[in-house]
Structure 1
Amino acid sequence: MQGQDGWFPYPSSRPLRLIPPIVLAYIGDAIYEMAVRQYLISKPGLRPNHLHRAATSLVSARAQSAILSFLESRLTEEERDVVRQGRNAKSGSVPKNADVLEYRHATAFECLVGYLYYANQHDRLRELIGQGIEYKENHVES
């Protein structure tokens, strides 16, 4: 079941201000992954065997870190605060394919996505994800 704006309508079991940043990052990771997959499927002529590679180029820790760096000047003070909390959150895991700084920035980006989702700021969420994907698509690394 989806809500009218396309997002699942399940509220958090606690007030937003009491959700730990790492939990916001957990849901943010899933929401961002879904947004990327929807974006890729909307593109004409994309073959199924290229979907995984294309998605990975947008959802990797390196990509999320670059997107956050691009978006930071566009964030409100409240959003910057959420990013700071996400960046400083202790995840308890070791990054596999990224350095620690990229991993922390990726976690901060996912935290922001989760925060905007639970704050019901879905238009802002779509705006930032759209800007981030557009930026990353136009700044492909060699």
Structure 2
Amino acid sequence: MSDQLQNGFGWFPYEPSKAPRLLSPIVLAYIGDAIYEVAVRQYLISLPNLRPNHLHRTATGLVSAKAQSTILAFLEPSLTDAEKDIARQGRNAKSGSVPKNADVLEYRHATAFECLIGHLYYTGQQERIRELIENSIQYMMNRS
């Protein structure tokens, strides 16, 4: 297992087939989406009143393309130049299709956010992921 994953998320035994810098932005967004959704679900389960319908509605509101687009705009001033570059690559990546419940711009910005989270995940930067996701969730929860 690579040092990056052992130092970051070594609890899972599979590494990517390529170095993180060689993975496409769409692949990084694919894993980033999953990482972010798990973090949101863990946050919601930490709250009182665990009604399944409420959990689902709240989670959906935090992980939608619209929400992730809003989050990226909120986080952008706090991103490093390298992080902005990763997000830009995700935003410019061609994914093939756009979900019917999101417009193209929102979807591209959501992909940029997910790509950034995926990149941080595969480069073992769990503290930075934690910081960005905690700030994102708090920002979105305070908006509602």
TM-score normalised by L of structure 2? 0.90
> Residues 1-142 of structure 1 correspond to what in structure 2 (within 5 A)?
8-140=12-144
Q: How large is the Cα RMSD of the aligned pairs?
A: 1.6
Task: State how many pairs are aligned.
Answer: 138
- Are the counterparts in 1 of residues 8 and 123 from structure 2 also a CA contact under 8 Å? no
The AA in structure 1 aligned to 2:69 is S
Tell me, in whole angstroms, the C-alpha distance in 2 between the residues paired with 1:82 and 1:12.
17
Identify if the C-alpha distance between structure 1 residues 39 and 72 changes in structure 2 by more than 3 Å, giving closer, same or farther. Answer: same
Tell me, in whole angstroms, the C-alpha distance in 2 between the residues paired with 1:16 and 1:60.
25
Tell me, in whole angstroms, the C-alpha distance in 2 between the residues paired with 1:26 and 1:39.
21
- Are the counterparts in 1 of residues 8 and 124 from structure 2 also a CA contact under 8 Å? no
Q: Which residue number corresponds to residue 3 of structure 2?
A: none
Tell me, in whole angstroms, the C-alpha distance in 2 between the residues paired with 1:19 and 1:111.
10
C-alpha displacement of 1:92: 0.5
C-alpha displacement of 1:9: 4.7
C-alpha displacement of 1:44: 1.3
Q: Deviations over 1:50-83 (max 9, x none)?
A: 1110100100000000011000000001100000
- Are the counterparts in 1 of residues 8 and 125 from structure 2 also a CA contact under 8 Å? no
Could you list the runs of 5+ residues in structure 1 that have no partner in the other structure? none
Could you list the runs of 5+ residues in structure 2 that have no partner in the other structure? 1-5
Tell me, in whole angstroms, the C-alpha distance in 1 between the residues paired with 2:106 and 2:75.
15
